[in-house]
């Protein structure tokens, strides 16, 4: 089978789901996972109705054996893996002083170790196809964000892992992309947990003013095609990364003031 095969973690909604449809429309077969069987099947049915070949697998990225099973089932079904998109992740909003350290561990297990596990078991197959490993990171992986210490730490870890992996694979023909969408309209903020691990269930930002998940997927697809090493989206995201590199003190103030304006922000204004 010469049909390209794309594996996407956390593709039941948001950017992951948008990527499944975007790649499916190019003719790729899509293998994807999620923890909730009903949401996963809903997306699988929609992909099938759109004429997109797909394989849904109920799996938790924070469990190594689940990621090994995802890759094994993908190769058993399609015979290859061309692209891995590490998209699964959760967010967290809490002042650090109020946060249970175990909640930060949970974020690391999903956002960082999930990327490690999926990449570890996909990489032997991607080496054969000289394909791509993609991490859906965040501006929080370049610039620590207040009230999001756990999330920022997990994304910094992801960015460091991908940078090291990219260098390690420099002469292998494998492409590694770190993609940072900036604030994108998706369900990640609705599913964000608080300092005690409880789902907040609401967003603190104006979702209508953000880049859509479909727009984000289009940018990522193009970046993979062009084998870019890094993708930073939105003007706000690009400005934040630039200021943090060259004017870090100013970045501290601007980031604080911006996030202090969020709904129910615990930051003093």
CA dihedral for 231, 232, 238, 242, sign (positive or negative): negative
CA 186 to chain centre: 11
Cross-strand partners of 135: 86, 178
d(CA 203, CA 210): 12
Instruction: Tell me how crowded residue 134 is: count the other CB atoms within 10 A of its CB.
Output: 27
Task: Tell me the catalytic residues.
Answer: 151
Helices 64-78 and 113-129: angle between axes, nearest 10 degrees? 30
d(CA 30, CA 81): 10
d(CA 30, CA 87): 14
d(CA 269, CA 58): 44
Cβ(89)–Cβ(111) below 8 Å: yes
Buried b (16+ CB within 10 A) or exposed e, 211-242: bebebbbebbbebbeeeeebbbbbeebeebbe
């Amino acid at each position: 089978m010469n049909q390209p095969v794309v594996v996407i973690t956390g593709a039941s909604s948001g950017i992951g789901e948008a990527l499944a449809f975007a790649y499916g429309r190019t003719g790729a077969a899509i293998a994807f996972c999620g923890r909730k069987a009903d949401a996963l099947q809903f997306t699988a049915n929609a992909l099938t109705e759109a004429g997109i070949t797909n394989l849904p697998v109920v799996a938790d990225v924070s469990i190594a054996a689940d990621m090994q099973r995802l890759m094994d089932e993908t190769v058993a079904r399609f015979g290859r893996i061309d692209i891995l998109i590490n998209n699964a992740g959760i967010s967290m909003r809490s002042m650090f002083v109020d946060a249970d350290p175990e909640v930060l561990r949970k974020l690391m297990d999903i956002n960082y170790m999930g990327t490690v596990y999926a990449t570890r078991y996909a990489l032997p197959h991607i080496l054969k196809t000289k394909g791509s490993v993609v991490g859906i990171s965040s501006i929080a992986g370049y610039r620590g964000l207040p009230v999001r210490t756990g999330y920022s730490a997990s994304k910094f870890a992801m960015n460091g892992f991908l940078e090291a992996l990219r260098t390690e694979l420099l002469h292998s023909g494998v492409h590694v992309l770190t993609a940072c969408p900036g604030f994108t309209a998706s369900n990640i903020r609705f599913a964000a947990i608080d300092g005690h691990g409880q789902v907040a269930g609401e967003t603190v930002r104006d979702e209508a003013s953000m880049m859509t998940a479909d727009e984000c997927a289009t940018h990522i697809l193009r970046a993979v095609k062009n084998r870019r090493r890094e993708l930073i989206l939105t003007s706000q995201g690009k400005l934040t990364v630039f200021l943090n590199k060259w004017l870090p003190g100013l970045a501290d103030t601007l980031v604080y003031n911006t996030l202090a304006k969020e709904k129910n922000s615990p930051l003093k204004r």
